[in-house]
Every structure is written in C-alpha cells, then in structure tokens.
Amino acid sequence: MASENNHFLAVCLRGAGQVFFMENALTGLLFIVAIAYASYDAGQWATTVGAIVGLLVATLTAMWMGNDKPSIQSGLFGFNGILVGVALPTFIAVSPQLWFYIIVGSAVSTVATAAFAATLTKSWGVPGSTGPFVLTAWLMVGGAYAFGSLDVTGDSARMASDYLSGAAVIPAADELVQIFFRNIAQVFLLGSAVSGVIILVGIFIASRPAGVAAALGSLVAMVCAIGMRVEPSVVIQGLYGFSPVLTAMAVGVIFLNTSGKVAVYALVATVATVFVQAAYDVVMSPLGLPSFTAPYVLTMYLFVAPKQALAPHAHKPVAEHQLHDH
C-alpha cells in the first residue's frame, strides 16, 4: 500500500521507517511521534526539529542529485539523514551554526549513501545501512570540538584504563523492563522507555517477524551485558542494546531468509554485537566520540558479506601480480 503513494510526505515518512528497515509510512510516523515524546519528556525540542530537518534535507538532496528513483521513494535516502538530525543536537548545544551544520551533514549523508551503494553494495552485495550516518556523525561531532561556535556537551574523553572492573549489581525487575524498551529507543538516541514502546508497536504494525526479532535482540543484549558485568548505569540507559537489536533484525529477518540455521547465526551475531559495542565504546572514548550504531554496522557487514562457494585465498602465489613475468 504505502509504496504506491509517492507524495513527498509519504516518501519522507518511509525514510523514518527505514531506520528499522520498515518501508511503511505509518510506522515512520510513529517513530517521529516517539522522538517527539522523548523531546516533550526532556523539555528540549532540538532533536525533534533536527530529525525533521535531517529527513527533509537528505531526501531533497537525493532528488536533486538524481539518485535512483525507486530507492528514494522507498525511503532509502532518508533514514541516514534523520539519524544525523537527531544525533547532532543530542551531542552539540543549540546555536545558529548548529543548524547550518545539520543541513550540510544531512546532505553529506545522502552523498555518502550513494557512495556506499557504489562500492560496498555494487561489489559485494553488502548493504550500506546506517554506515553513512555513523561516518557523517563521527565527522560532525569530532569536528565540533574544534569550532568555537559549537559546544560538545554529550561525551567526555576517557582512556581505556579509566574503566573500572569489579562487582556489578543485577538490575531490579522494573529496571529490566526499562532496559528492554530503552534498548529499542536508543536506535534513535532516545533515553525514554515509552518511546521504545511506541517504536516497537510501529515495527509490529509493519512486520511481525521484524518485531519479534527486535524484541529477542533486546532480550539477548540485556542478558549478555548483565552477564558480562557492564557498568549498570550504562546498561540501564539502553546503551548496550540498540546495536544488537538492529543486528538481530538485520541478520535474522531482513537480509537473510529466516530459518533455523539463520536464527542461530543471528544469535551469534547479536552476542558478538554486544562485545563489539564494548570495544567501540572503549576505543572511541579517547577520541571523544560516541559509538552510534557502528557496532551494528561492523558486525552486520561481517555476517552478511560471506557468499556461497567462495574460498579464502589459498597460501599460494596470487595471479597477475605486478612483479610476475608478463
């Protein structure tokens, strides 16, 4: 249904929905409601305004560039833009230059989406997914430190050795529920469990298997993060769950045909994403950058890339090397 209505508004809403792989305008609308709820709850509207600006600019840039029309209409050039629009006001204080920054960043996310399509997807069939968002947001947040007009408020740099090991308290039952939904909300960088509920409803409206995968991904991530004894204050914010949720959906339902074997494969990928999340947090900290969805992106690329009937290079001479006899 949704795909037949190519009104600009519907195209943009599908762009919002594609953050969770859903080509569905109603789902996208619910996602924007979830962002707005979190803004209302926190009393700051910059993230909601940023989301809308990012979505519009990214989609319009794709139209201006003359990118593949069906892809634009299904929202594939919008989801990186909306994430850039939410992420920048989350980590940078509002100023006139911030809005200029968001506009340029959203446009760049569309260029990057086209670049990922022309490389990763063309050669290897690997989806760029939110890779362009991660790259763009890293560059923009990193750059903000050097601009007197932009004030980075979110993170502070710390070294790997600043992490403390030791006893961790297991969260109480009501906290577990909070974690479960925040794991989903944090894909949009939202700390609100209510937003997580709205988003999960949105996913179920578009696809039941996708909703189940998201819920299971959140559960697995929660168990794994607590079992490995991650700092409880970080787990409770949902920061160990959003990338695993995306991995569970992407590997288990979206990019592979679901089967028993694929379910096991997606489970391994989801657990691995928790470990990769930890690694990114530690490694990006000295650089003063958040991980965004990079843990999902890297893990998904690795798990989606393997193709049938391809062998690793054997330990014998490579063909047509420069120095071989002509």
Which one, of 83, 26, 65, 20, lies nearest residue 213 by Cα?
A: 20
Nearer to a copy of itself, 45 or 265 (CB): 265
Q: Is 297 exposed, middle or buried (0-12, 13-18, 19+ CB in 10 A)?
A: buried
Q: Give Cα separations from 259 to 101, 209, 212, 301 (angstroms).
A: 44, 12, 14, 20
Nearer to a copy of itself, 38 or 58 (CB): 58
CB of 267 to a copy of itself, least distance (A): 10
CB of 286 to a copy of itself, least distance (A): 5
Cα separation, 238 vs 192, whole angstroms: 9
Tokens at 156, concatenated: 């502070």
Q: What is the CA radius of gyration of the chain?
A: 20
User: N- to C-terminal Cα distance for the chain?
Assistant: 58
Q: Is 316 left (phi over 0), alpha (psi -120 to 50) or beta?
A: beta
Q: Give Cα separations from 73 to 13, 14, 67, 149, 292 (angstroms).
A: 10, 8, 10, 36, 26
Nearer to a copy of itself, 4 or 257 (CB): 257
Cα separation, 218 vs 224, whole angstroms: 10
Nearer to a copy of itself, 43 or 308 (CB): 308
Nearer to a copy of itself, 37 or 292 (CB): 292
CB of 207 to a copy of itself, least distance (A): 10
Nearer to a copy of itself, 44 or 71 (CB): 71
Nearer to a copy of itself, 43 or 306 (CB): 306
Cβ count within 10 A of residue 69: 11
What is the sign of the dihedral through the CA atoms of 243, 244, 250 and 256?
A: positive
Q: State whether residue 207 is helix, strand or coil.
A: coil
CB of 262 to a copy of itself, least distance (A): 6
